[in-house]
Structure 1
Amino acid sequence: MGLRRAMILMALCLSPLPGAAEDGPVRLHVPAALAETGLLGHILPRFSLKTRVRVVLVDDPAQAQVLLGDSGRPVFDGPGGAWRMQLAPAPGPGAERLAGWLTSEVGLNTVLSFTPETGPGFAAPQVVAAPEAATILAGDARLGLDVSRRACARCHAVEEAGRKTDIGSTPSFFVLRAFADWEDRFAAFYALNPHPAFTQVAEITAPFPPDRPSPIAPVHMTIDELEALMAYVSRLAPADLGAPLQAQDF
């Protein structure tokens, strides 16, 4: 191989491939309200010094790789409200690095260390957890109500109409639904006192011992009926009792 040919091949190896994205500054868009605080002049040079990634501000959000505004992931709170971050589709490694830094402890501490000339400073984002989705079980809820009336209503209030007519020492279904582990408790209610003394679930519980019959009219239930009962209970609104409930048998 001649010297000229070797030099040409080496040059091709060191040159960017046609169509490959070349390194360049990360394009960041922020609203004027944030830019006017002076924050960017504090944090961007520190980011660039640490990462060797340069950042430029662009006026057009459509041209930005990273956007700070009112949509996306919370990054910090401050003048103007809660500031959030969005990444453009296929933002590139530099933009992803900036996004990772902004959401890191180091990035947040850099933001918090900035003191505006006037007005309040910045704070960590106040993230409000989304309410947990209610568990709705599949099954015949109508049959579950019928089973509840037949098997449970003599001790528990199982529907709105009976909430004031149940035995006072036993919690209503609405109260039981407020337990975090209500599903496990209903699924195995037949094993929780006092139910084993008078409850029979076909294919699950053993027959009553001959010398220890049920002290009251026994409750008989199939597995399908138990699943329907749980489907019904899953649709009940949990009672609002204020303080968290303490787990106990029922």
Structure 2
Amino acid sequence: MLTRVLVIITAALLAALPVQADDRLVFLHAPEPLVETGLMKHILPRFTLKTRVKVELVPEAQAQIVLGTQGRALFEGAGQVWHMVVRDEAHAGTGRFADWLVSEVGRNTVTSFAPGGVALFTLTEVQEQVEPVMGFAGDAKLGLAVALAKCTRCHAVDAATRMAGIASTPSFPVLRSLPDWEARFSAFYTLNPHPAFTQVADVTPPFPIDRPSPIAPVELTLDDVEAVLAYVATMEAAQLGAPLQQN
């Protein structure tokens, strides 16, 4: 009898505890016309890869962030200007995603979506632009090891491998010199030719049965990708000289 009473009391106390929101999960609503463009499949994995915060598409009634015709203007495309309303500003993950959407990295991610080589979205005037602080939390030493093991079949990744790889493929120092290097390394697995042979655990879908990898697959984890990004952040960019001037 005493045991039963203790079980009931414990259950009641647990039920009374406040439910803690998961700061690593954000509920987003995007109208069907926007989803159908493929933009969400393009930007959401990149945000998750960078922050480890997952964004899940849900009906509007359940959403913490709503994209549509109301709120702060973000970008234009698919026949209209898309705005953002943040419903749960106290939620850490929601705030982080909202800040990312108006940051330079987030905006570049949106405008880089170009299926078939044609960009579908352009920027609008966004007031009070916020650049979230997102340091490179990965292990740079591990990143070098991963790059040496996984990337040298195509790229030179350091001075010791400068003669490795494919001559027509840019080296890591050359890629580091590009203004969008961070976006390139954060989401390299989506940039051709990588999707044909690269798998990132819990991010990329399996290869279709009728289209297996043409070469031995490159298999990585999110920790591996973050580590490579941290390594590249520490390297000195290649000096390519001043841009050519035309008269």
Common topology (TM > 0.5): no
> Between Structure 1 and Structure 2, whose CA radius of gyration is higher?
1
Which TM-score bucket, shorter chain as reference? Answer: 0.3 to 0.5
